[in-house]
Amino acid sequence: MAKKQFKTESKRLLDLMINSIYTHREIFLRELISNASDAIDKRYYAAMQAGNTGLNRDEYEIRIEVDEQQRTLSVTDDGCGMSAEELETNLGTIAKSGTRAFAQSLENAEDINVIGQFGVGFYSAFMVADKVTVYSHKEGETAAVWESTGEDGYTVSECDYEPIGTKIVLHLKANGDEANYDEFLQEYRLSSLVKKYSDYIRYPIRMQVGHQQKKEGTEDEYETVYEDQTLNSRVPLWSKNKNEITKEEYNAFYRDTFYDFEEPASVLHIRTEGMLSYTALLYLPKKPPFDFNTKGFKRGLKLYANGVMIMESCEELLPEYFGFVKGLVDSPDLSLNISREMLQHDRQLSAIANNLKKKIQQELLRMLKDERDAYAEFFRAFGRTLKFGVYDNYGMNAEFLKDTLLFHSRALDKEITLKEYVDAMPEGQKQIYYAAGDSLAHVLKLPQTEKVAEKGYDILCLTDDVDEFALRILREYDGKPFASVSDPSLDLATDDEKKAMEEKKTESKELLDRIKTALGDRVSEVGLTDRLKSAVACLTGEEGMSVEMYKVLRQMPNGETVPMTFRLELNPEHPLFKKLGTLNDAQLGEYAELIFAQAKLMAGLPLDDPAAFSEAVCKLM
Ligand code: ADP
Ligand code: MG
């Protein structure tokens, strides 16, 4: 029989499993049982959809068998089974993007310790076995067997495995110096592994367990009697009462189900009955999964209909801005008879989703109030997603999300909410000031911030590219409009100051015109500003589009074409400004170039001609 080769990524993952020195090899059992349970769900779900409602869910089972002589361990299910073709595609390639990314990311053996973080799936069998045989029989297909000893590929052929379902036989590796595989032949060890990782599996996981019994009619002769035992309690964690579940149980379930190393930042266990009945178990993670910001990331909750998983990841249950939430929803009201496509437009489902998003928002606000530090940490991990949610969809969810946001306060040097900012505003302050830049250090040094800060007003420091867009969409908080310290229309001056400024503008008109002529189209206007203190000039965008927003847009696909002109604003109180009036046209031209370049640098914009700039500076020196 011709051997087939694994796809490259599969091969890499497989190599890793085979040569694994990972100490938690035991997770292979969890993976096989979880596949078995999924397969039974699939079979049951398909039967229900086909209108075959006479099935009894309790008649399905997952069976573990041990053969000590042969040193084999097998896991059998009466699930959907696989055709020869499916054996080939499902077991010869890595289907799941997460697992694929995992395999790609693993360059060295030390990383093996992160295995537990991922659902490594079927291949984990090779951590304990040197040969794996999979017998499978799908309804209406010829039964087939898949077999592999690892790296050198696999075979698929027809066979006469009768029952519908799948039997996976692991030929355990020989015991070596560093590992003893015999433990996976011991009933006690196996049953405690099932308890540890698979207790909530809703189908019975059965095993023949032998115990000694006195032989009938004898005094002291014993024989081993085998008895079928169900190893798992089968009660899904989420269907227990909250007060019966310990924090450890919640956390362990989270780690094993969602493959996170860390404990969750928060757990929400929701049960509602009445018009809409469902149970939800939601977790807010502490850190984003490795693929969170990639296309491969799948947002969604697991969806169960009365304990049977009908969707691995139901997107409709979570809005994008809460995409970081992990968890599941189980509802007796969801009909198993409807197709996945129909489910997506299901009224029940959208009602549940609507409830959940409110619960999540409330939980975020609760954390913010009761566990400020934990919330701040959470926000560092996922705040960007929330801020993006404010901005996205034309601000449709801005109101709903605005109180979950944190921004860095310049005055307090820590993260604060918008409400905290407004509550701390001194008498007379009418706007909420913010400054945007690439980093906190950059923002703090922006020349435009000096005057605002001098007035005793706090400034929100924005460093995420989405920040300014989010605030602009919100427009105001509690009746106080947001104002960028760089905004040309920023209104800080008293009436007297304004009058004085007007006079200066008239006085300097000729000088400003000369500078504008020198700089040409690169600036839309040259004006005076009273918001600078130690700097001689700054650049601002036009109303509605700031320099920072321009920078963000430029980085987007096709962004090179975004048009932008800047206003150059000069500080009339600066000694250099006073000197400008005394220069001839040629000198003024050189000075104007330098001032413009400086202002660009401070705004974090690239220079058109860095060499010319450097030359001009040298000449001056
Ligand atoms: P995952 O379970 O995350 O999809 P696995 O590597 O665990 O990834 O399994 C790969 C695929 O093999 C599954 O998606 C499923 O299609 C198939 N499979 C594995 N075990 C079984 C089984 N016992 N019965 C039916 N199909 C199975
Ligand atoms: Mg799996």
Q: pLDDT tens digits, residue range 64-123?
A: 999 999 999 999 999 999 999 999 988 887 655 455 555 555 554 444 445 544 556 898
Please name which ligand lies nearest the alpha carbon of 41. 1
Mutate to test the pocket of ligand 1, among 90, 256, 258 (most ligand atoms within 8 A of CB): 90
CA 329 to ligand 2 center in whole angstroms? 20
Q: What is the pLDDT of residue 150?
A: 86
Rounded Cα distance between 500 and 510, Å, is: 17
Model confidence at 124, pLDDT cuts 50, 70, 90, reads confident
Mutate to test the pocket of ligand 1, among 7, 35, 74, 138 (most ligand atoms within 8 A of CB): 35
Mutate to test the pocket of ligand 1, among 122, 134, 154, 167 (most ligand atoms within 8 A of CB): 122
Q: What is the pLDDT of residue 49?
A: 81
Report the SS3 class of residue 453: helix
CA 278 to ligand 1 center in whole angstroms? 28
Rounded Cα distance between 111 and 118, Å, is: 12
Q: What is the pLDDT of residue 118?
A: 53
Tokens in use for 191?
């049953």
Q: pLDDT tens digits, residue range 428-441?
A: 899 999 999 989 99
Q: Which residue's alpha carbon is at the smallest distance from atom 23 of ligand 1?
A: 36
Rounded Cα distance between 348 and 370, Å, is: 32
Q: Which amino acid is at 602?
A: M
Q: Which of 364, 439, 441, 446 shows the shortest CA–CA distance to 405?
A: 364
Tokens in use for 15?
């190599």
Q: What is the pLDDT of residue 172?
A: 96
Q: pLDDT tens digits, residue range 185-228?
A: 999 999 999 988 888 888 999 999 888 888 888 888 888 888 99
Stretch among 62-76, 228-242, 345-359, 480-494 having the lowest mean pLDDT: 480-494
- Helices assigned H by DSSP within 203-269: 247-258
Q: Which amino acid is at 97?
A: S
CA 120 to ligand 2 center in whole angstroms? 7
**How many CB atoms sit inside 10 A of residue 45's CB?**
20
DSSP 519-554: HGGGEEEEEE-SS-SS-SEEEE-BTTB-HHHHHHHH
Rounded Cα distance between 507 and 359, Å, is: 61
Q: Kindly give the interhelix angle for 467-474 and 372-395, rounded to the nearest 10 degrees.
A: 70
Contact 581, 572 (CB under 8 A): no
Which residue's structure tokens are 């592999």?
148
Which residues sit with their C-beta closer than 6 Å to ligand 1?
31, 35-36, 39, 77, 79-80, 82, 90-91, 95-96, 119, 121-122, 166
The continuous run of DSSP H or E covering 473 comes out as helix 467-474
Which residues 6+ apart lie within 8 Å of 239 measured at CB?
Answer: 279, 307, 330
Model confidence at 178, pLDDT cuts 50, 70, 90, reads confident
Mutate to test the pocket of ligand 1, among 13, 38, 120, 170 (most ligand atoms within 8 A of CB): 38
Tokens in use for 27?
């997770």
Q: DSSP state, 181?
A: G
Please name which ligand lies nearest the alpha carbon of 92. 1
Model confidence at 14, pLDDT cuts 50, 70, 90, reads confident
> What would the mean pLDDT of 164-182 be, rounded to a whole number?
92
Q: DSSP state, 151?
A: T
Rounded Cα distance between 307 and 40, Å, is: 12
Tokens in use for 291?
């693929």
> Could you tell me which residue, 534 or 286, shows the higher pLDDT?
286
CA 508 to ligand 1 center in whole angstroms? 77
Contact 459, 435 (CB under 8 A): yes
Report the SS3 class of residue 144: strand
Residues above pLDDT 90, as percent of the chain: 56
Q: What Rg value do the Cα atoms of the chain yield, rounded?
A: 33
Q: What is the pLDDT of residue 116?
A: 47
Give the count of alpha carbons within 13 A of 560, CB side only: 1
Ligand 1 closest atom vs CA 121: 7
Tokens in use for 337?
């008879």
Which residues 6+ apart lie within 8 Å of 184 measured at CB?
Answer: 26, 29, 73, 128, 170, 172, 190
CA 309 to ligand 2 center in whole angstroms? 13
Stretch among 329-333, 365-369, 400-404 having the lowest mean pLDDT: 329-333
Contact 202, 232 (CB under 8 A): no
Q: Which amino acid is at 426?
A: P
